[in-house]
Amino acid sequence: MNVFHILWRNVMHRKVLSLLTILSITLTTGLLVILLQASDGVEQSAEKGYGPFELTIGAKGSQTQLVLNTYYRVGSPIGNIPLQVLQDLKQEPEAAHVYAMTAGDAYNRYPIVGIEPDYFLTRYGDQRLQAGNMYARTGETIVGAHVAKMLDLKVGDTFHGSHGLVHEGGKSFDTNSGTNVNSTTKDQEQEQEQGIHPDEHHEDNTHVEESSDLSETHLDQATANRNAQEHHDDHEHFEYKIVGILPSLGTADDRAVFTTVDYAWHVHGITHDEDKTITAILVQPKSLLGTQFIKNKYDKRVDVQAAYTSKSVADVVNVVDQGTELVSFVSMICVVLAAISLLLSLTSVVTERKKDVGLMRLVGKSRRYVWSVLIGEGMLLTCVGLVFGLLLGHLVTYLCASSILEWTGVHVNAARIVSGEGWLLLGTLLIGFIASIGPAWKVYRVDPLQLFKN
């Protein structure tokens, strides 16, 4: 009888206990694979998420928010800067490529980004579109591969954008200002229905100031509502046409709609150059010295800030790594529990194995054969759990990849075998081997003659 047949017989003899042990190893391995895949996705997205653009110019505020919105389409723009800044940067001898970006509008929660077509050539090289052609005129757009897939868009489709409005719970919010532009309080609605004005509530002097504040609130609310309606009307009259679909780029650009820089000016009827603004400027310097020169120069200006793109991304990755360390600690606890489960499974049948091993030793089986039987059962359970765990981890990652991209802008490639999986494979086998040694030694050291005499 060969070793594998004996091992399989032993495992099937205790189906429930073996299944629970395999399940424990499978879930632990799967959890670690998902963690490794997510961590690798964050690192890969951070590494190529901003391309060659080492500097980002934008409005004063959080540099991290500026970079995340510009390259990862996360959050909302922190403000706009004058168009003249773009003209100044294009005159800089240390700037290799300079591209303006306008943002703030959206289509079905996906951002509409205005940027020059050469941006794609500079960042991604000469790649062919999945379908159609690059935009050339105002109103023409190309959509990211993820957007096209989720919304079932194709070349020739038309749509209307919205002014950065996110619909939630029946209310509309301007993502640029963070204010509610369509809501009024219940008391204010009742007052308006009854024709009551705030300054008519009380005649005594103690309530005059309160009535005045309420009147100002009504005025501000009415102004906000009017501005929101104007934005809505502007966008309803401006139609976009899809002329191309991007290939899968592996970055947050997959979940955005791109068009010409001047789209926002046409939507809002801005014709004078002094009134035109842009959201950010992407700069590819010619050298490290040029990067420092441009940053120092534009940091001195009062209307803009210059951010090191890589530094801002690194700050975000460091925060993510801190969270990953906590998850890794929990995962290590799961690994220990899986090892204990394997140890208990093998220990529970020590007495039964003593008789088998005693018989094998009496009939003259070699030391290697006996140890193969003793260690092999634990390793068989470990290997089966490990294989299922790897498959489970990659399957869950594949199923969740689209949702992860949708909400975080991070690409997770389930088909990719990350470097940490090799160490996971070796570590799991080592833990299974160590957990098997104790029960195996306890069985092997028993005197077979004394065992059968008893």
The phi-psi region of residue 281 (left if phi > 0; otherwise alpha if psi is between -120 and 50; otherwise beta) is beta
List pLDDT tens digits, range 89-123: 999 999 999 999 998 888 988 999 999 999 999 99
Quick one: what percent of the chain has pLDDT higher than 70? 69
So what's the pLDDT on residue 454? 55
Q: Which residues contact 338 (CB under 8 A, 6 or more apart)?
A: 24, 25, 27, 28, 385, 431
Is residue 173 one of the residues assigned to a domain?
A: no
Q: Which helix (H) or strand (E) holds 264?
A: helix 263-267
Same-domain pairing of 364 and 440: yes
So what's the pLDDT on residue 368? 67
List pLDDT tens digits, range 164-196: 544 433 333 344 433 333 333 334 444 444 444
Is residue 202 one of the residues assigned to a domain?
A: yes
Same-domain pairing of 84 and 232: no
So what's the pLDDT on residue 447? 61
Residue keyed to tokens 């990719």: 416
So what's the pLDDT on residue 396? 92
So what's the pLDDT on residue 365? 62
Same-domain pairing of 197 and 96: no
Same-domain pairing of 323 and 282: no
Strands, DSSP E only, in 69-225?
81-82, 95-107, 110-115, 131-132, 140-143, 158-160, 165-168, 171-174
Domain range for 263 is: 60-161+242-303
Is residue 144 one of the residues assigned to a domain?
A: yes
Last residue of a domain, one of 282, 303, 324: 303
Same-domain pairing of 138 and 275: yes
Q: How many domains does the chain have?
A: 3
So what's the pLDDT on residue 196? 41
Report, as ranges of residue numbers, the positions in the chain whose pLDDT lies below 70: 1-7, 10-11, 13, 164-237, 320-327, 347-371, 409, 442-454
So what's the pLDDT on residue 322? 66
Is residue 167 one of the residues assigned to a domain?
A: no
So what's the pLDDT on residue 257? 94
Strands, DSSP E only, in 175-304?
239-245, 257-259, 277-278, 280-285
Written as one string, the DSSP assignment of 367-422 is: HHHHHHHHHHHHHHHHHHHHHHHHHHHHHHHHHHHHHHHHHH-----TT---THHH
Same-domain pairing of 262 and 140: yes
Is residue 171 one of the residues assigned to a domain?
A: no
